Amino acid sequence: MKVTIVGAGAVGASCAEYIAIKDFASEVVLLDIKEGFAEGKAMDLMQTASLNGFDTKITGVTNDYSKTAGSDIAVITSGIPRKPGMTREELIGINAGIVQSVASSLLEHSPDVTLIVVSNPMDTMTYLVHKTTDIPKNKIIGMGGALDSARFKYRLAQALEAPISDVDGMVIGGHSDTGMVPLTRHATRNSVKVSEFLSEDRLNQVAEDTKVGGATLTKLLGTSAWYAPGAAVSALVQAIACDQKKMFPCSAFLEGEYGLNDICIGVPVLLGKNGIEKIVEIELDEAEKAKMKESAEGVSKVNELLQF
């Protein structure tokens, strides 16, 4: 199993590290445009192999796509991250060009690749890859909901004063400060609805804290987060590489599901060796449907800014 990660920055390197530590891929290629940068990150990571006990071979290359040839899975993390006070949508001007050219270079050398799009604004970047390549829709996956759901569980566990492993929950919708739809009504602690333990106000607070999870970290760090994003990407890569059929909310191209068309947005999917093997349509109540519709309108507005 060969995995390429384009962008050896904070998220790309974190993702490579988690993939290596889980030791399910034979080879990870890190590619960056900055001379020597990916080579340095790969060497540093390889020097953790004997300490962390993995055999995954990590190599780094400067913009040489021939070294990515035959990749089964590729992750696009290349592009700029936001700074405090910015929205993800403000990154579109620079990141759209980068994502489009990276996707096309990857495809030249790995025509059967499954692509995971991470660069922001992620739902729109995923849509861009759909519109500008002939990769089948099941093989283009946007990573956002897996991260947002991990943050939701963290906030729920805090509110419940419970261990995170007791908690389950999911965030669907667009990966944006306003567009996320944390499914508070469905969240559980050991199969019991969290609404049995938390007031409506406290649950609303959990949802709001979840939605601005990325912005909160960007303010604290001066740039956007990388550990949880890297871990979330590595979980998707593992689900595909190991044919796990695991369910994650991912940005998927919709053709009628959830009443939406011609959009990539976060919905629950099953991930296996064929990428998105199924889009899972769960029952939403009227309030959840309205939030999903509003979220989709926001994503579509950003999509309209694309030029291709």
Ligand X SMILES: NC(=O)c1ccc[n+]([C@@H]2O[C@H](COP(=O)([O-])OP(=O)(O)OC[C@H]3O[C@@H](n4cnc5c(N)ncnc54)[C@H](O)[C@@H]3O)[C@@H](O)[C@H]2O)c1
Task: Point out the annotated binding site for NAD(+).
Answer: 7-12, 32, 95, 118-120
Nearest to 225 by CA among 156, 150, 158: 150
Q: Which of ligand LMR, ligand X, none does residue 218 bind to, with CB < 5 to 8 Å depending on kind?
A: ligand LMR
H-helix or E-strand spanning residue 76: strand 73-76
One of 13, 76, 172, 225 touching ligand LMR (CB under 6 A): 225
Q: Which two tokens stand for residue 87?
A: 């929205």
How far apart, in whole angstroms, are the C-alpha atoms of residue 148 and residue 154? Answer: 10
Say if CB 122 and CB 142 are below 8 A apart: yes
Which residue's CB comes closest to ligand X?
A: 9
Say if CB 33 and CB 63 are below 8 A apart: yes
Instruction: Rule CB under 6 A: say whether 219 interacts with ligand X.
Output: no
SS3 267: strand
Nearer to ligand X, 162 or 212 (CB): 212
Say if CB 254 and CB 274 are below 8 A apart: no
Residues annotated as binding site for substrate?
A: 82, 88, 120, 151
Place of tokens 């333990």: 197
Nearer to ligand X, 77 or 189 (CB): 77
Report the nearest approach of ligand X to the CB of residue 127 (Å): 13
Q: Are strands 180-182 and 171-173 parallel, antiparallel or unpaired?
A: antiparallel
Between residue 124 and residue 143, which ones bind ligand X under the rule CB under 6 A? 143
- The one segment of 25-33, 51-59, 65-73, 197-205 that binds ligand X by CB under 6 A: 25-33
Between residue 162 and residue 181, which ones bind ligand X under the rule CB under 6 A? 175
Nearer to ligand X, 114 or 198 (CB): 114
One of 142, 179, 229, 272 touching ligand LMR (CB under 6 A): 229
Report the nearest approach of ligand LMR to the CB of residue 215 (Å): 6
How far apart, in whole angstroms, are the C-alpha atoms of residue 275 and residue 96? Answer: 23
Nearest to 75 by CA among 113, 48, 46: 113
Q: Which of 109, 130, 175, 186 is catalytic?
A: 175
Nearer to ligand LMR, 225 or 254 (CB): 225
Q: How far is CA 211 from the centre of its chain?
A: 15
Say if CB 244 and CB 235 are below 8 A apart: no
SS3 108: helix
Instruction: Rule CB under 6 A: say whether 88 interacts with ligand LMR.
Output: yes
Active site residue 175: yes
Residues annotated as binding site?
A: 7-12, 32, 82, 88, 95, 118-120, 151
How many Cβ atoms from other residues are within 10 Å of residue 191's Cβ?
7
Enzyme catalytic residues: 175
Residues that bind ligand X (CB under 6 A): 6-12, 31-34, 37, 77-82, 91, 95, 98, 102, 118-120, 122, 143-144, 147, 175, 223-226, 229
Residues that bind ligand LMR (CB under 6 A): 81-82, 88, 120, 147, 175, 214, 217-218, 224-225, 229
